[in-house]
Amino acid sequence: MFSSENPSMLRGMDQSPFPYHGPLQPEQVTGREQLALDLAQRITDRRLTALVGPRRYGKTSLLKRVAADLQSVGPQPVWIDLYQMTSMADVAGAVDRGLDCVAGPVRRILDSVAATLSVNIGVLRFQLARSPTRRPDPALSLRTLLTVLVSAAQRHELFIIFDEFSGIANVEGGAGVLRTELQHNFQSFGIVFAGSEPSTMRTLFSEQTQPFFAQADLVEIGPLPDDAVHRIIEDGFADTDRNAGGIARHIVEFAGGHPQRTMQLTDALWRLVEPGETANQENWENALATVRTNVDSGSEHIYSLLPTGQKKTLRAVATGGSIFGAAASMLDLPPGTASDAAEKLLGNGFLQRNPQGLSVVDPLLADWLRRRFPF
Ligand SMILES: Nc1ncnc2c1ncn2[C@@H]1O[C@H](COP(=O)(O)OP(=O)(O)OP(=O)(O)O)[C@@H](O)[C@H]1O
Ligand SMILES: [Mg+2]
């Protein structure tokens, strides 16, 4: 029976204000106001932009927010998700899905333009999934869909978000088709590319052979500022009749502004605090223990897949040592190996560079390394 005398039952019904799986709803995105305004302005000004940042730093959430903000005043977003593309048919299917998600008057424009080019939005991706002899040509289909987009943009203000854009790098000729179709038309709509694989994104946006993409400005999404994290935690607790006490500062310190880890730790803490109560030190220690239990085996697994030089370098950085200092020599890490490995780890998103030097992107991986390999 649900009653106010049964707080644990009621607590089970409360929805956590700290979601940490997948993108947030636009209205849940806070602490990124300046970046959101900057991106909206860039889209409005039709400045080609690439939003880059580590995994799970909130790129998709932020762009969903920007898309919703802009859509509320007119321009129509077209969201194209290129996650893990492996073929031209995949890319054409992703564009079809993006167009298929558009509703209302802009959808009618898209459909009427598509009809003049003999394609059916929302159907094409199923046709592309047929066997190669029975399906339309994928590259041609992709070109046609992009032509639909370009033509529709003459009739209604549009902007395109290519999320997980680094996925295009796995598709031979994929970036080339996008470039050919978009490079002469990108003044007619805003485009944002987002991605988290630093070395792939850098290659896509700087290579001499990619003249169109190289025009994009790279905009970084960094950690959440400390004051934003304090606000998110304190407001989420207060809105659900709890008090975060002084525990927010432990989360700020532990997670270093990593958005998803901040939310995961805060969610675990929140689940231990009854309505009407204030979080205490013991709650924090238990929350951290729970999250460690959930995450440690994943950390161990991804660490085990790294080559030895990168393992040692990651350990040296996690324990706060310089990759050329005493920590490195204890690990038998020669300077040449250390700099090569650091470049690789920066490229694959394990490490990031900040004013203090190198740091491990994922605070829970760093924490696991420090516990697993204490000096
Ligand atoms: N502005 C924010 N405030 C608080 N938490 C956030 C914010 N943005 C993202 N998060 C947290 O990070 C998680 C991941 O967000 P999101 O999926 O948008 O990141 P991403 O950078 O697109 O990740 P991926 O690299 O996996 O695509 C969210 O579930 C949420 O917990
Ligand atoms: Mg994302």
Nearest CA to ligand 1 atom 4: 259
Q: Which CATH number fits domain 307-372: 1.10.10.10, 3.40.605.10, 3.40.50.880, 3.90.1720.10?
A: 1.10.10.10
Higher pLDDT, residue 174 or 206 = 174
CA dist., res. 117 & res. 152, Å (int): 12
Higher pLDDT, residue 374 or 119 = 119
CA triple 308-264-234, angle to 5 deg = 135
Q: 57 Cβ partners below 8 Å, 6+ apart?
A: 196, 221, 222, 223, 258, 259, 260
At 1, the pLDDT band (50, 70, 90 cuts) reads very low
Taking the CA of residue 29 as reference, the ligand 1 atom at the shortest distance is 1
Strands (E) across the chain are located at: 49-52, 76-81, 158-163, 190-195, 217-220, 351-354, 357-360
Look over the chain and give the mean of its residue pLDDT values, rounded to a whole number: 91
CA dist., res. 230 & res. 252, Å (int): 7
- The CB density around residue 138, as the number of other CB atoms within 10 Å, is 22
Q: Any idea which ligand is nearest the CA of 59? A: 1
pTM of the model as a whole: 0.92
* Contact (Cβ atoms closer than 8 angstroms) between residue 214 and residue 249: no
Nearest CA to ligand 1 atom 5: 259
Q: Where do the structural domains in the chain lie, given as residue ranges?
A: 32-220, 224-301, 307-372
pLDDT score for 5: 47
Instruction: Please say if the pLDDT value at position 211 is more than 90.
Output: no
163 CA distance to ligand 1 middle (Å): 13
Instruction: Please say if the pLDDT value at position 162 is more than 90.
Output: yes
Q: Any idea which ligand is nearest the CA of 19? A: 1
56 CA distance to ligand 2 middle (Å): 7
DSSP state of 170: G
* Contact (Cβ atoms closer than 8 angstroms) between residue 42 and residue 210: no
CA dist., res. 303 & res. 114, Å (int): 48
Fold classification of 32-220 is Rossmann fold (3.40.50)
Structure token digits, residue 44: 């409005």
Compute the chain's Rg from CA coordinates.
23
CA dist., res. 186 & res. 150, Å (int): 8
- DSSP labels, 307-341: -HHHHHHHHHHHTT--TTSHHHHHTT--HHHHHHH
CA dist., res. 318 & res. 166, Å (int): 27
Phi and psi angles of residue 159, each rounded to the nearest 5 degrees, phi first: -145, 150
Which pLDDT tens digit goes with each residue over 331-371?
787 888 888 999 999 999 999 998 888 999 999 999 999 99
* Contact (Cβ atoms closer than 8 angstroms) between residue 77 and residue 70: yes
pLDDT score for 13: 56
